[in-house]
Amino acid sequence: MTRILLFILFGFTPIMAQGGDAHWATAAKNGFGTSNTLASKVWFTLADGVMTEVFYPTVDMPNVQTLQFQVVTGTKIENEIDDTVHRLELPNPGSLTFRQINRAKNGAYTITKTYITDPQRNTVLIDVDFNTKTDARLYVYYDPSLNNSGMHDRGWTELTALMAVDGDKASALVPSCGFVYETIAQPVTIDNEVRTDPNVVQRGALKKNQCTLALAFGSTATQALRTARASLARDFAATRAEYEAGWRDYVSRLPRIAKHQQQFNMAAMVLKALEDKTYRGGLIASPATMWGGGPNANEPNTTGYHGAW
């Protein structure tokens, strides 16, 4: 049996879940992005309507299992992967900018998310628009797997941030709109087995239906939090314009072909994005892990195609 501890904390609702094995997301990616700069050493992947692995500070080091949203109406909880119909768009075909549009299967709401990275910092930025016909509340559900392992993470809240750390890898998730403050509740214990090294999951309700999320990384929690706040200090549109200008410059120097130019440009950008920004000239085979890493992804020796350079 497994023991699960749910901690409802004042401010927002991070969940510390102990006992469940970690597994990497599906290898069937339909989006892969990073800035065309060396200053931003962070890469994201997309699949099943959500963000899956995020790599930092090298392209072979995953630190995230999943970041998705949940829609809460009364006591009913729906999540993007299972309860919505997914669509992916390229709002700028000359850039690694991606937009996921997830429509509820019952038609009650739509979640639209635009993804970029900050060209100057180690931050993934997600611009979110939640359109609902009800009084539903939008929650962010973040499952970090820092340092290429599902276990050993330690999570906590700090003002308006969800913080996590494992060794010399730390993440800070900060929304521009803030989190909803909620009532303190006591921990709830389920089952009877204790796991001392938890698989941490963090969750919080957003104050507004339009919001920008900054998921930043650093070698310390303080560094990650400072980076997230610096990225949010600038308007998302301005950061996106800089991000897309970098890719536009790269695309402008690609060969011109008679047919399928857009597909050619995208393939070239993805190949460029697979190059590491510390070990120049080194490319990984793919930012995916076949079969979710095998039996589990609890430990860092579980790897995937990103382990092949």
Query: Domains in the chain, please, with CATH?
Result: 27-178+206-280 (2.70.98.10)
Task: Quote the pLDDT of residue 186.
Answer: 37
One-letter amino acid at 309 equals: W
pTM (2 decimals)? 0.90
pLDDT score, position 137: 95
Least confident segment among 201-205, 221-225, 269-273: 201-205
State the chain's mean pLDDT as an integer.
Answer: 87
Angle of helix 261-273 versus helix 236-252 axis, rounded to 10: 110
pLDDT of residue 2: 35
pLDDT at 11 over 70: no
pLDDT of 20: 67
The distance of Cα 301 from the centroid of its chain, to the nearest Å, equals 22
Percentage of the chain with pLDDT > 90? 72
Q: What are phi and psi of 194, to 5 degrees?
A: -100, 135
Say whether pLDDT at 5 is over 50: no
Query: In the prediction, which pLDDT does 102 show?
Result: 98
Helices (H) and strands (E) in the chain, counts: 4, 18
Supply the pLDDT for residue 151.
84
Measure Cα distances from 28 to 44, 82, 287 in Å.
Answer: 14, 16, 10
Residue 198 confidence (pLDDT) above 70 = no
Task: Give Cα 45 distance to the centre of its chain.
Answer: 8
Encode burial over 66-90: b for 16+ CB neighbours within 10 A, e otherwise.
bbbbbbeeeeeebbbbebbebeeee
